Amino acid sequence: MQKTIYQLFQFLKTVRAAIVFLWHRMVALRLPQVAGSLSYTTVLSMVPLLVIVLSILTVLPQFQGFQKEIQDFMTENLMPAKMSKTVMQQITIFTQRSAGLSLIGGAFLIFSSLTTMAIIDRAFDDIWQVKKRVSFRANVAIYWAVLTLGPFVFGGALLLINWLVHSLKAFVFLSSFLGVVLPFILSTVTFAALYVFVPNRRVHWNDALVGGAIAAIIFSILTHSFSAVFKSFSGYAVLYGAFSIIPAFFLWLYVFWWGVLFGAGITANLPILKYERWRKETRVGYRLSEALMVLYQLYLMRKSPARMMAWDALQAKMKMNSEELGFIIEHLQKFNWIAKVQRADGGYGWALIADTDEVSLADVYDAFVFDTRYYSDQAMQHNLPWAKYLAQLQNTPAHDVRLSELFSASS
């Protein structure tokens, strides 16, 4: 009995520590400030973005009159009915007027939409702490593919949900159940896809689905909360009339983006919780140890028939999140010690390409801890008394050992 109580106490203690760690990480991400910035951007570019999406959806006969399905989905899952109706009415008017746009106006519409996606992309890169950003020009094709193909995938999913719900009308309980569950699943998968494909970092679907489900739950709670607030403060709408929707919509946009970013933050930090990296006490030089472990794993794989290691396998072996492993990989690539190579099945893996007889422990030490060559040269140029001692660090017997000798002694 005492053992069970002790284990329960330790479990609760671990959960508390994990929640505190996650809270500090969320605070560091500055979600409220980023959500405010994205809300402002969305206000300026939402009309161009939705005009393009609705215009694409209404190209095919199957999607004619699709605005009603979108409005129903928004009402039930994203925003209150009154707000959804007003917003969709205005967007429909803008969509009808977009046919009269000039070539320059149409180009500006597309450019505004692409710029919005680039800003969202940058916000996600900040959450995943991506250091090496992809240029806007390189991502234009991806943004355009999302703008053109995304609406069809989303629209097809909505049509499938409506078809299933209407086909099962005879089964009242099942129809009602699917009417609640399927939109939630669609929201979860949509947010998960956002977390997988937008960041310039490898994200596992399992982690993304957890973050997507949390974001979908947040929106479900917020939608009902907003509806209750609107009903409680009906005098506000009487006083301001049609203008009352404007501040409410701004507030909803802010909360919307906060929920999206919160789900992204959960997704980005799940590997840290999963591999218990948050328990790790950071010590000086820990990057050196991790870099040697990565090199050692790839050294072992070089002796195998595959001769390379997939990212997922390397991450599972190292028990590192994408952010930390990405830093090590990028740094090792910079020195041409490892390379990304294509597998026979078309996928990609990582391989050790360095000559381990040429690379020494001192080289890896200089790359990840302290560049003794550079700082000893600097000390010599300024005639500092410790210059010769820094130079001698590079030639110590332990540092001069080659990776081939180091790894063969371990294997």
Looking at 45-59, 268-282, 291-305, 365-379, which range is the least confident one? 45-59
Q: Are 215 and 244 in contact (CB under 8 A)?
A: no
Q: Which tens digit of pLDDT belongs to each residue from 101-155?
A: 566 766 776 777 777 778 888 888 888 877 777 776 767 777 767 666 666 666 6
Q: Are 406 and 361 in contact (CB under 8 A)?
A: yes
How many whole angstroms from its chain centre is CA 248? Answer: 28
Radius of gyration (C-alpha) of the chain in whole angstroms: 27
DSSP 56-88: HHTTSGGGTTTHHHHHHHHHHHTS-HHHHHHHH
pLDDT of the residue at 209: 93
Distance CA(151)–CA(170), nearest Å, equals 30
Name the more confident of 100 and 117.
117
* Residue 369 scores a pLDDT above 70: yes
Most confident of 59-68, 336-345, 391-400: 336-345
Please state, for a pLDDT cut of 90, what percent of the chain lies above it.
4
Domain 286-410 CATH assignment equals 1.10.10.10:
yes
Name the more confident of 193 and 72.
193
pLDDT of the residue at 151: 62
pLDDT of the residue at 213: 92
Distance CA(291)–CA(331), nearest Å, equals 9
Q: Which tens digit of pLDDT belongs to each residue from 148-201?
A: 666 666 666 666 666 665 666 666 566 666 666 777 888 888 889 889 888 888
- Per the DSSP assignment, residues forming a β-bridge with 169 are none
Looking at 58-72, 146-160, 243-257, which range is the least confident one? 58-72
DSSP 376-408: HHHHHHTT-TTHHHHHHHTT-TTTT-BHHHHHH
Task: Kindly state the average pLDDT of the residues 16-39.
Answer: 78
pLDDT of the residue at 227: 66
Domain chopping of the chain, boundaries: 2-274, 286-410
Q: Would the pTM count as exceeding 0.85? A: no
Distance CA(5)–CA(89), nearest Å, equals 59
Give the model's confidence band at 79: pLDDT under 50 very low, under 70 low, under 90 confident, else very high. Answer: low
Q: Which tens digit of pLDDT belongs to each residue from 206-232?
A: 889 999 999 988 877 877 776 676 666
Other beta carbons within 10 angstroms of residue 374's beta carbon come to 11
Rounded to 5°, the CA angle 194-45-37 comes to 70
* Residue 347 scores a pLDDT above 60: yes
pLDDT of the residue at 210: 92
